[in-house]
Structure 1
Amino acid sequence: MNPQLLFWIPAVLRIVLCVAGAGLVWFFFGAIAGLAVAFLSMLGMVLGQLYWLFRLGSWLDDPAQSRSPDGWGAWTDVFARLYRMRRDDEKHQAELAEWLARFRQAMSLLPDGVVIMDDVLFLEWCNPAAQRHLGLQQERDKGMRVTNLIRNPSFIDYIILGRYEQPLTLSLQERKLIVQIIPFENRRQILVTHDVTETERIDMMRRDFVANASHELRTPLTVINGFLEIALAQPGLDMEIRTSHLKLMTEQGQRMQNLINDMLTLTRLESVDYPLRAELVHVRPLLEGILEEARALSAGKHKLTLEIEGPNLKGNLDELRSAFSNLVTNAIRYTPEAGSISLIWKSHERGAKFVVKDTGIGISQEHIARLTERFYRVDKSRSRETQGTGLGLAIVRHVLLRHRATLEIASVPEQGSTFKVVFPASQTVIPA
């Protein structure tokens, strides 16, 4: 049956009953009595309706705090429907609030910044990434004009021109950002920021690496090509001069070979497809072998000492030999004749440490932080004299990262340097 018909039936029945009752009183007691009964019945019905209207109004003023009335007659159905509507509305509001919370949570986890603005650029909401990128604060800056919060001439021009089809590259807060405004709805806009600082840094490192590698390879190639041209132009060159040229070409060829080997080693260490294959590394024979190599390189020009008191290691033997050897080789190259170089392996409060201490030329404080960068040299002319590739300490850094070790450098110009490698206890093995 039609619900509206069910709603009207009780009201019609009450009216019929009132009319019937008044008619009966009229029949038995006269017209005046019948009219009085009809009037009083209708007045009771009107007052009843007014009462339930009053209850409805009171409930509608604060439906969340007061209980829905039960009603009487048709009002029972009215209040039941209103209660269901309120319950459905609360359910929809809860679902909307849940979706809004999920949306904000998702926006908060994005690495890109998202700022929601109205049509006149007043801030409505921003995620944490946008706060980091643009220096905004949601609670403090909400309701403020974005152009007053981001005081950058390029950004202001971008807003004024309104050419939002193309993104804007912006330097802000020591970051390099790609910024774009995307209009949506009729009265809102989204400002999206993408941080490319790290990407730019990596690209710059790549460009510097290619440029430095090309420069390092060009020098020996120039020497080799020069001597080859002399050999071709002068077939009857004196044997002593020819031998001297061949010796120099061999040295430069070896320099290129060392550089290529170091670049390949560094590439392998940085590769995620080259996991560390740990094994038991006996430190004493490793350092004794490095000491013998160091003595051969020094050719008796330095005083070399070795002290071993610490535990063995878990790690890759070849990688550790490369790292330790690079540290010792650098100490020999940058220590004048008659200087001393000490190699120390001992236990440490955090595990174990390897120390290379020399009395060399030392390093100024401003250079220490950059020593492990590729091709970074404190004195380029001296590096060419010592035949270094400029990649030794970069290799050391990557080997230590793979072995969870840290490198500490202390140096005083003209007094010497100390390179200390600290291994955590998890990488050490106490000899049985």
Structure 2
Amino acid sequence: MKQVSFLRAAALPSLIWLVIVAVLSWFVPVWVGLALVIAFLVWQLSNHYRELHHFALWLTHPTSKNVPSGHGVWTDIFAKLYAMRRMDEKHEAQLAEWLERFQNTMRHLPDGVVLMDKSSHLEWCNPVAEQHFEFSLARDRGHRMLNLVREPKLIEYIRAAQYDAPMKMSYLSRQLEVTLIEFEEESVILVSRDITETERVDAMRRDFIANASHELRTPLTVISGFLEYAQDPDAMANTPVEEQQRQMKLMHRQAEHMTILVSDMLMLSRLESEMRVEDVDIDMPRLLEQQLIAAQALSNGQHEFMADVVQVKLRGSHQEIDSVITNLLSNAVRYTPAGGVISLKWSVTQEGAVLSVSDTGVGIAPEHLPRLTERFYRVNKDQSRASKGTGLGLAIVKHVLIRHQAELKIHSNVGEGSTFIVQFPKERLLK
């Protein structure tokens, strides 16, 4: 943009008009020439005043679209203003675009982000932070964070300004990990992460290790005790043969229990680590018949069995589906008193296929139902150990069904029995 020339745009036209007036003054009276000069100056001033008025009006809403056109020297001035305003608008648009992209990125982060000043006044936050702390940016902008979230532990953390030192807290039925980050001179960022599920999994892992250690320690203690006793020649010489045989059988049962427990733990580990399912065509009627015979052998004639099986095959892992049926039927036998009825049903619905195992056993209280598929969770620990259960059966069932896109439902009433229902998707059916 070329520079504005005052001599060319303003002074030169005025000098030309003054020369013209001076020439005319030779032919007219002096007072007439003076009047012409004054009229010319007033006209020039009025033009400048009009342009200044337009400029003042433009300043109230300075955009490139409403820059005045101007006359004389004002043409170059307004042209310069137009170019400068266009450049500013371009920069503002770029900043707005970057700001929108930044905020959009923050909105899609899995963590909560809160921007506030040093006095903890809320300036901006993303939707995740609104969910974590249950406030609204539109409603609560400008309010103090310490007043919006009345959690003593968080208030103390913010006041202490412990930057980059994560802190865990419980808030609104959530476990949160918050981190305070210093941002610029007068701002801070509070990052919140929902670790509820992580904490739950960690607790389950700790319980699993503790329970597994306990389950393994019990039979090892029995075996170790008998072996230590057997190393004493005098004690063995005074022990009847029948007692020695009883001890050997007890050690064998404990070793067998450990073998089953370790086998179940290894299977659970495999189910969690392997993503791919080795699908084969499973002859479900034949598999169910075999499992029913095994369950009758386990029952030893103490229960009545009923079966209703349709001739439909299933696509899946034969070994894993076999373990599901084994666990469901063996649980029904273990927890159903003698004389009870166990029913096995394999049917087809519009949603897919349904495998159900029902019994007339002791039943399960409602508060236990949500936790039945947890590792080593037992409704009645004494009864479970007496029935030789490992506490991992339903956990195995759960993971197998997840791998087969199936769902487990449990219906039970105390004293009336239980029904375990497995819903397989229709995509896995083979007729």
How do residues 322-337 of structure 1 correspond to structure 2 at under 5 angstroms?
322-337=323-338
Q: Deviations over 1:224-274 (max 9, x none)?
A: 111111111135454433322222111111111101110111111112x43
Bigger shift: 42-51 or 31-40? 31-40
For structure 1, which runs of at least 5 residues remain unmatched after alignment? none
**Preserved CA contact (<8 Å) 1:268 1:274:** no
- 2:400 is equivalent to residue 424 of structure 1: no
Residue of structure 2 in register with 1:370 after alignment: 371
Q: TM-score, normalised by structure 1?
A: 0.93
TM-score with structure 2 length normalisation?
0.93
Corresponding position of 2:414: 413
- Matching residue's letter, 2:264: D
Aligned residue pair count: 428
3-state SS of paired residue (1:4): coil
Q: 1:13 to 1:111 in 2, by over 3 A?
A: same
The worse-fitting range, judged by mean Cα deviation, of 197-206 and 55-64 is: 55-64
Preserved contact between residue 400 and residue 407 of structure 1 (Cα < 8 Å):
yes
Q: Which amino acid in 2 is paired with 1:225?
A: S
Q: 1:71 to 1:65 in 2, by over 3 A?
A: closer
Matched-pair contact (CA < 8 Å) for 1:59–1:66: no
1:147–1:310: structure 2 CA closer, same or farther, 3 Å change rule? farther
C-alpha displacement of 1:394? 0.5
Which residue does 1:393 correspond to in 2? 394
Q: What secondary structure, in the 3-state scheme, does the structure 2 residue paired with 1:3 have?
A: coil
Q: C-alpha separation between the residues in 1 aligned to 2:289 and 2:328?
A: 15
Alpha-carbon separation, structure 2, partners of 1:5 and 1:56: 17
- Partners of 2:177 and 2:285 lie apart in 1 by 54
Tell me if the contact between 2:63 and 2:85 (Cα under 8 Å) persists in the aligned partners. Answer: no
- Report what 2:380 is aligned to: 379
* Residue 29 of structure 1: how far off its partner (Å): 4.5
Distance 1:310 1:413 in 2: 34
Distance 1:368 1:321 in 2: 23
SS in 1 for 2:339: coil
> Contact 1:121 / 1:147 at 8 angstroms: preserved in 2?
yes
- Cα drift, residue 55 of structure 1: 2.1
What displacement does 1:33 show? 4.9
- Root mean square deviation, CA, Å: 2.1
Identity of aligned residues (%): 46
Is the Cα contact below 8 Å between 1:265 and 1:395 reproduced in 2? Answer: yes
CA distance in 1, matches of 2:366, 2:380: 14
Residue 388 of structure 1 deviates from its aligned partner by 0.7
AA aligned opposite 1:243: Q
Of stretches 52-61 and 378-387 in structure 1, the one that deviates more from structure 2 is 52-61
Cα distance in structure 1, aligned partners of 2:181 and 2:82? 42
- Structure 2: stretches of 5+ with no match in the other structure: none
> What's the counterpart of residue 111 of structure 1?
110
| 1:372–1:393 contact (8 Å) kept in structure 2 | yes
The whole-number CA distance in structure 2 between the counterparts of 1:387 and 1:355 is: 23
Give matches, 1:87-236, under 5 Å. 87-164=86-163, 166-234=165-233, 235-236=236-237
1:392 counterpart letter in structure 2: G
Task: Using the TM superposition, give the Cα deviation of residue 397 of structure 1 relative to its aligned residue in structure 2, in angstroms.
Answer: 0.7
* Partner in structure 2 of residue 269 of structure 1: 271
Whether the 8 Å CA contact 1:147–1:156 is kept in 2: the answer is yes
The residue number in structure 1 matching 2:76 is: 77
The answer to whether the 8 A contact 1:284-1:308 is kept is yes
